[in-house]
Amino acid sequence: MREIHDIHGGIHPPERKSLSRPGELRDTPLPAHLILPLRQHLGVPAKAIVNVGDTVLGGQVLAQAQGAMSVPVHAPTSGTISAIEPRPIAHASGLADTCIILETDGADQFIACEGIPEWQTVAPSLLVERIREAGIAGMGGAGFPTAVKLNPGDSKPIDTLIINGTECEPYITADDTLMQCQAEALVEGAVILAHVVGAKHIVIGIEDNKPEAISRVTSAVQDASAEIEVASFPTKYPSGGEKQFIEILTGQQVPSGGIPADIGLVCVNPGTAVAAKQAIIDGKPLTHRIVTLTGEALGKPGNVIACIGTPISHLMGDAALSAEERQRIIHGGPMMGFAVSDLDAPITKITNCLLAPTARELPPPPPAKPCIRCGHCAEVCPASLLPQQLYWYARAKDHEQLSEHRLLDCIECGACAYVCPSQIPLVQYYRAAKGQMRDSEQEKRRSDNSRERFEARQTRLEAEALAKEAKRAARKAAAQEKAAQNGEDPIQAAIERAQARKIEQGES
Amino acid sequence: MLSALTEQPLLIALLALLSLGGIFGALLGFAAVRFRVEGNPISEQINALLPQTQCGQCGYPGCRPYSEAITAGDAINKCPPGGEETIQALADLLDVEPQPLDAEHGTEKAPVVAWIREDECIGCTKCIQACPVDAILGAAKVMHTVIADECTGCDLCLDPCPVDCIDLIPRKEGIAFWHWSLPTEETPPVDIIASDSRSRDAA
Amino acid sequence: MRDVLLATLPGIIILTWFFGPGTLINILLGALVALITEYAVTRLRGQNPRLAVSDLSIVVTSTLLCIALPPYAPWWLIVLGVVIAVLLGKHVFGGLGYNPFNPAMVGYVVLLISFPVQMSSWATPRGLAEVPGLLDTLRHLFLPDTIDGVTAATPLDLLRQNTGLLFKDLLASRPELTGWGGVGWFEVNLAFLAGGAWLLYRRIFTWHAPLAMLAVLGLCALIGYDGGSSESGGSPLFHLFSGATMFAAFFIITDPVSSAVSNKGRLIFGALIGALIYLIRTLGNYPDAVAFAVLILNFCAPFIDHYTQPVVYGTRSKDS
């Protein structure tokens, strides 16, 4: 039995999970068109390899990965490419990004898929390639290219693979539903991933507010081909943050600025593990995912399997949204999500929840009052930071102090803002400050680079000028020497020659 | 004698202060000679804070001459590409009051890079010679192109071009460059946990 | 804020019972002055005056100050004290959340140093003298020429002024010292302790600062107590239940804006305040030392904060 540790801080917001009936998975009708952004992951956007007017089948590659930190995009179903252009996407900025628009034909035809049934005999690097080709990115919300995560390099040997079944954020039940309905696939996926990274231990961690998921997964691991431990731990937000999850299960902390592989761990979302199983055993790329549709403004909340690229408006219609005035639809959960600016934006590989609250359910907060230095924020911070100090320095734009107080270790979980009695939107300050710091650093690097180039150019110009001077002096010296030898002045001779030529040209 | 001295408190006080002054003066003089630093490191530090566009908008032929001018006492608010952030950093370094950007020298604009319209380029190399950071690739009668990563947007290449085929395009547009902006009093009450992006303009 | 005001009620009631309605009238007057001043200042500063006044934080400041002031202080002392607390203690630094010093203590100390006579207008407690009625009190407060017949020394005063008497002899000659903290003062401190315990239960603040202060004060008094000789500094129980001790422990040092931020910091903050209170009471010039001790430690709070920062996740040095 594994020893469970506790993290510093944490809060217990109302869970509101039963609203979306975890464990009941339903399908959703195919939308008329799918919008597939070229960037649904962390890193470089994929590059479209189809053209407008092409007919494609489900599972076909529509965009290729560009380099290591990139992930391909596949067609979730059959249809025709009607456009490749910027469209609004679900992003906090409300900006648009290049997307491939696929008009579905309803036939839902798929390409022929070929899995690798004897995957245990295949070299892990080939399996990683398959996972990359299947377009798998971290489905917990970060979208980190899974193939890169599974390849930390020889200097970081992996000892344990952990599956993050925490899902600590209120309202979201997508992973809970997946663990209840696809437990066998999850277990198979875990075994495959452990083989890929060379891990000797596999642990599936689930919060104790999901008893059905725990029992389903526990019975599924009995039939697994490898030994898998199922560990449950007390419910607290944000236990599901990767760093906090690792601390709970192992007592170790991921070094600041490092990755879990630095301490021999790889941590993966259950959805990603199932996608890996589908990629290796069924040969299917990532084309669908489970999304929680919840909130009191919905008539039919629940968990659906939807095509990647389904417009949010389509899902809201399927869930019988009865919108109020100024209705917000939140992409993600109430703690770390953001309101979607355009409902025609699509869901992507990282969309785990769409929350449609009524104004009474999640009322807009009152205006922020001044900070009274009560210290509650520091008590709940899971990273043991000083949110109060970070707030003051973020306001002052004091980047030096922000680094010293380790702003970059903030996981933006929102626990500090949740407990603040003055209702200060702390996380917005930290996000803004991080953006400014990154910007500043980039500008500094650019200007340092420019200064070097400028100085190099100056040096080159000076050297050229000196060389020219030296050559001229050398020529002059040579000419004078010649004059001294021959007894005539070469310059005078040249002038006479030129004058003679001029007279010649004047005559002819 | 000591007893005579102790009856003159004023004299004692004067002697004490004079000797203290003497001792500390000697120490300072020694330090000034022993720990002397050649050159003026402040100029280097100022130059490190300037954006290195070498554009000349400050009135000096480049960033280093401006940094030397600031050391000599010139105002710190003459650099438009550096903008408010640079003025603030200079004010912090030199311990002076930050001032708003001097409008005579230009206004702070979004960062730009030069872009050559290749259809119109005649390969004259005038822009290559003008670029202070050698960010234009090309040779005589060969296509010229701007290396965007090295271009500082100083716009010194625009004037020499005889066919006027160089544009300045924004450098930081699009989702990859967006980041949140600090909440202000004017920002409507932002949800702590879920933010309403409609109420904020993309920064 | 409302909780804090409610928690002061038991203490105010007991004070009124034992020493007359002076404190109550002062509190009402002080609240009025505070609201007017706060409204005017926030308006002048261009802030939203209704918002600033609505959370009642300024009423808490004025109430705490008026509880600390003697019941028969003349009305102009109250007005002056509250205005100084609001302006000099709070707004000069930036308003709510920006003051490095406890505003009530700033007001108290300014008054104490400027008007020492008026600041010693304490009353004789019930049981040893007739407690003045309402009309009498109003007359004393608003027509201050009639003070002299009423004021008396507090138990802490008496201990200070003691020259050479053994404690039990002092007790015989000055019956105000009867009981653990002196007549009336013991009950007042008990009432504030009850209010403070309720605030702890409501999680308005954490236990670290009050417990540290009381523990260290008790400990210092224990070490310094030699059984009641003429040099004695007062027994631990005396120190804990007399004067403004409990009031300070639960209402003054728990002000979040001017105290340390982390729990470890609060322990140190409270402990040093306790130690300073004992030292100033026994060795200093003023009978009750709370205000000075608090202001000195407010000054030190940023320093304490700097050295009690938590270890950030991921920065622990590797053990194995």
**In B, which residues are within 8 Å of A338 by CB distance?**
194-195, 197
The pLDDT assigned to B187 comes to 63
C127 and C247, same domain (yes or no): no
Nearest CA in chain B to A392: B182
Interval B42-66 mean pLDDT: 87
- For residue A412, is pLDDT > 60? yes
Mean pLDDT (chain B, rounded): 83
DSSP code string of chain C: -HHHHHHHHHHHHHHHHHH-THHHHHHHHHHHHHHHHHHHHHHHTTS-HHHHHHT-HHHHHHHHHHHHS-TT--HHHHHHHHHHHHHTTTGGGTSTTT-SS-HHHHHHHHHHHH-TTGGG-EEPPBTTBPPP-HHHHHHHHHSGGG-TTTEE--HHHHHHH--S--HHHHHHH-GGG-SSSSTTHHHHHHHHHHHHHHHHHTTSS-SHHHHHHHHHHHHHHHHH--SS-TT----HHHHHHSTTHHHIIIIITT-TTTS-SSHHHHHHHHHHHHHHHHHHHHHSSSS--HHHHHHHHHHHHHHHHHHTPPPPTT-SPP--
Q: Which of B80, B74, B77 is nearest to B88 (CA)?
A: B77
On the 0-12 / 13-18 / 19+ scale of CB atoms within 10 A, A117 is exposed
Contact A282, A152 (CB under 8 A): no
Judged by CB atoms within 8 Å, which residues 3-42 of C form the interface with A? none
Rounded average pLDDT over B24-43: 87
Residues of chain C under the 50 pLDDT cut? 319-320
Q: Residue written as tokens 């239940």? A: C241
Cα–Cα distance for residue pair B48/B132, rounded to 1 Å: 17
Residue B172 confidence class, pLDDT cut points 50, 70, 90: confident
**Domains detected in chain A:** 18-28+124-307 (3.40.50.11540), 375-503 (no CATH)
Q: What pLDDT was estimated at residue B2?
A: 72
Looking at residues A251-273, what average pLDDT do you find?
93
For residue A442, the chain B residue with the least C-alpha distance is B177
Alpha-carbon gap, residue C10 to C16, rounded angstroms:
10
pLDDT at position B182: 86
Closest Cβ opposite residue A256 in set C97, C256, C312: C312
Cα-Cα-Cα-Cα dihedral sign, residues A45, A50, A53, A54:
negative
Closest to A193 (Cα-Cα) out of A128, A123, A114, A117: A128
Q: Say whether both C90 and C217 belong to one domain.
A: no
Q: Are A294 and A353 in contact (CB under 8 A)?
A: yes
A420 inside 8 A of chain B by CB: yes
Contacts 24+ apart (CB under 8 A), B83-86: B83/B108, B84/B108, B85/A440, B86/B49, B86/B50, B86/B51
Tell whether C272 and C133 lie within a shared domain: no
- Hey, is the C-beta of B100 within 8 angstroms of any chain A C-beta? no
A346, β-bridge pairs: A311
CB contact under 8 A, B194 and A338: yes
Q: What is the mean pLDDT of residues A315-333?
A: 89
CA distance A161 to chain C (A): 20
Which among A89, A332, A423 has the least Cβ separation from residue B192?
A423
The count of other CB atoms within 10 Å of the CB of residue A118 is: 7
Give the H/E segment covering residue B92: helix B83-94
Q: A268: which strand partners? A: A163
* Residue for token pair 């992409």: A331
Burial call A276-308: b when 16+ CB within 10 Å, e when fewer:
bbbbbbebbbbbbbbbbbbbbbbeebbbbbbbb
From CA A160, how far away is CA A203, in angstroms rounded? 7
pLDDT computed for residue B191 by the predictor: 45
pLDDT of residue B195 exceeding 50, the answer is no
Q: Is C317 exposed, middle or buried (0-12, 13-18, 19+ CB in 10 A)?
A: exposed
Q: Are residues C124 and C162 in the same domain?
A: no
Q: Is the pLDDT of residue A58 over 50?
A: yes
pLDDT of B197 strictly over 80 = no
Touching check for C311 and chain A: CB below 8 Å?
Answer: yes
Q: Are residues C140 and C158 in the same domain?
A: no
Q: Is A243 on the interface with C (CB under 8 A)?
A: yes
State the pTM of this model: 0.84
What distance in Å separates the CA atoms of residue C77 and residue C300, rounded to the nearest whole number?
A: 29
Do C196 and C176 reside in the same domain of the chain? Answer: yes
CB pairs under 8 A between A and C: 70
Q: Final residue of a domain: which of C152, C184, C217?
A: C152
* pLDDT of B203 higher than 80: no
Chain B environment of A413 (Cβ under 8 Å): none
Quick one: C211 and C311 in the same domain? yes
Give the range of the structural domain holding residue C214, as residue numbers without chain letter.
154-320
Of the three residues C122, C152, C182, the one that is the final residue of a domain is: C152
Report chain A's mean pLDDT, rounded to a whole number: 91
Q: Using CB atoms within 10 Å of the CB of residue A154, give its burial: 0 to 12 exposed, 13 to 18 middle, 19+ buried.
A: exposed
- Cβ pair A38, A98 in contact under 8 A: yes
Which range, of A3-12, A440-449, C282-291, averages the lowest pLDDT? C282-291
CA–CA gap between residue C63 and residue C195 (Å, rounded): 14
Report the alpha-carbon distance of residue A34 to residue A311 in Å, rounded: 7
Same domain, C172 and C108: no
Same domain for C138 and C170? no
Q: Give every CB contact of residue A61 below 8 A, 6+ residues apart in sequence.
A: A49, A72, A73, A74, A133, A285
* H-run or E-run covering B158: none
Q: Nearest-CA distance from B82 to chain A in Å? A: 10
pLDDT of residue C317: 65
Question: What residues in A contact C95, CB-CB < 8 Å?
Answer: 370
User: Which residue is associated with the tokens 């002024």?
Assistant: C161
Same domain, C144 and C172: no
pLDDT tens for each residue of B140-162: 989 999 998 889 888 889 989 99
- Among all residues of chain B, which has the CA nearest to that of A438? B179
Which pLDDT value is given to residue C230? Answer: 60
Q: Give a three-class secondary structure readout of A448-471.
A: HHHHHHHHHHHHHHHHHHHHHHHH
Q: Cβ–Cβ of A362/B179 closer than 8 Å?
A: no
Q: Report the number of distinct structural domains present in chain C.
A: 2
Is C181 found in the same domain as C273? yes
C33 touches C61 (CB < 8 A): no
Question: Comparing C-alpha atoms, which of A107, A12, A99, A9 is closest to residue A56?
Answer: A107
Residue-level pLDDT at C52: 81
For residue C228, CA distances in Å to C168, C170, C173 come to 7, 10, 15
Residues C139 and C178 occupy one common structural domain? no
Among C152, C178, C202, residue at a domain's last position = C152
pLDDT at residue A167 above 60?
A: yes
